[in-house]
Structure 1
């Protein structure tokens, strides 16, 4: 049996597939199978995948007849097909350093209680490369060195405030823990946060402070579309935060580390310019979150009033 099952879920990433798949086939660690999946792409992705499916490393080529509407259904199907001890979900528009698998497998094998190994990532903006700054609002130093830590402790300190894994392509997990995990197929935007929270709760986490993963940032990328696009995305984030606190059996209270969530909330109100529309306040956030938001809205209304008076 292969040590690692590599799941490559794809949707309309024809122009990135060659880079992604070459970065997989060229890994220094070669004990793996590849499961290629397409979610009813409208470009030429299927032909590219069919060409690569002839390689002996490819165990499955799954072509959906109907688009699933969520990446997490593809993950679930891949998990069911995977034969490896470890699983790597390699998103089709990202790419990896040739030593990513070697380093992650070596790290996770050091202790059977380690359930996930992940590394740092670069953001790739066309011709500009930027080191991951996702965790900077939580700590400027913690992710500068490698570590092995209790997943539950990481959730308490960091993972309840932001997704604790920057990008699924940067991590491998033990397949056998998936039997205890709710695959977030009903989520559309931030199911990965809930997915990682459950996994972290299962055991230890090892992090490698090296930049082996490259996250391609473009208008249709999964990471890019986690920006300020729909109010439903905000509500889904709220739902995940609440579920993580329930998972940890702790009270859900306000913290300045949730400023990014308040920022998203305010953004929708600013775009609509209807600061008192009821729908923007009908969510499950506790009172102190809403108090922080009302304070901002009061400031916005005051500034708006000042502008009108000047006119």
Structure 2
């Protein structure tokens, strides 16, 4: 009988799949089912997965004929199919240490009130070489806290960290409860980015979080990864919802669920929304859409500490 449902949502990651599946099958914790979802890949993914299905009865394969267009549709499908309350979404291009699952399951067993437990992550490249650590991502927020194990009230975690940026940058580092995920409404499939961030926020408004500082997860950064595409963004299409739409949806969800957010959380969230609107305005202004850009910059000026720089940047560009 299994205790954990491991979900692998895959799309065209055939070159990484064997390493991903092997890293799961080699876990020291073995009481799990493995649900593999394929979102109509056009590479060799299906053949690779089918080869593993014949070798290990814990693996269940669900191929889909039509591409959903969103990894978060796959998240919801996988969680719905899961027969256990503990869920690990192991992204198909990532890898991990053999003790990841045991370590995070132990956190849930020791602290049953938590909604999710996550560990530190290493960065790896397309060839699985370690290229860095995600520890740097939180260093300027708290240089000491993320060096040790901790349990924190969810609202405190949101207020201190998660409302500022997604300090849980990779789902592969997380084991969460299906029941908590369901009460939070699952993954928002209308967000093309940051639905994972929204999930962590909505799950933690009513539940605590556990953190393990050991870098047991290996978060792959490669040319086709979502985060790489965001970082390389330089097209005339501004990715408005990279942060802004997610923040609007978080506030809306809290209102609908009658969740009370502190004045501090609301103020910080509104300031970041203002910053994003200002960035969009600057982008539009620089691409010849003067009126729309100026309208956004004026709208963002509700929080001038976030927007005075925009005017200076526009004039610098005009004088260069």
Please, what TM-score do these two structures have when normalized by structure 1? 0.87
Asked if 1:241 is matched to 2:247, the reply is yes
Match of 2:81 in 1: 81
Equivalent residues in 2 for 1:152-167, closer than 5 Å: 152-167=155-170
Match of 2:292 in 1: 278
Once the two structures are superposed, residues 263-287 of structure 1 have per-residue CA deviations (whole angstroms, 9 ceiling, x without a partner) of 9927972994447351585499764
- d(CA) in 1 for partners of 2:172, 2:281: 29
Q: 1:283 to 1:167 in 2, by over 3 A?
A: farther
Match of 1:185 in 2: 189
Runs of 5+ unmatched residues, structure 2: 255-259
- d(CA) in 2 for partners of 1:159, 1:288: 23
Q: 1:288 to 1:141 in 2, by over 3 A?
A: farther
Deviation at 1:236, TM superposition (A): 4.7
- d(CA) in 2 for partners of 1:64, 1:209: 37
- Partner of 1:134, secondary structure, is helix
Deviation at 1:112, TM superposition (A): 1.5
Asked if 1:147 is matched to 2:161, the reply is no
- d(CA) in 1 for partners of 2:56, 2:196: 30
The Cα RMSD (Å) is: 3.0
The count of corresponding residues between Structure 1 and Structure 2 is: 306
Please, what TM-score do these two structures have when normalized by structure 2? 0.85
Equivalent residues in 2 for 1:283-302, closer than 5 Å: 287-289=301-303, 291-292=304-305, 294-302=307-315
Match of 2:28 in 1: 28
Runs of 5+ unmatched residues, structure 1: none
Deviation at 1:199, TM superposition (A): 1.1
Equivalent residues in 2 for 1:85-234, closer than 5 Å: 85-126=85-126, 127-132=129-134, 133-183=136-186, 184-227=188-231, 229=233, 233-234=239-240
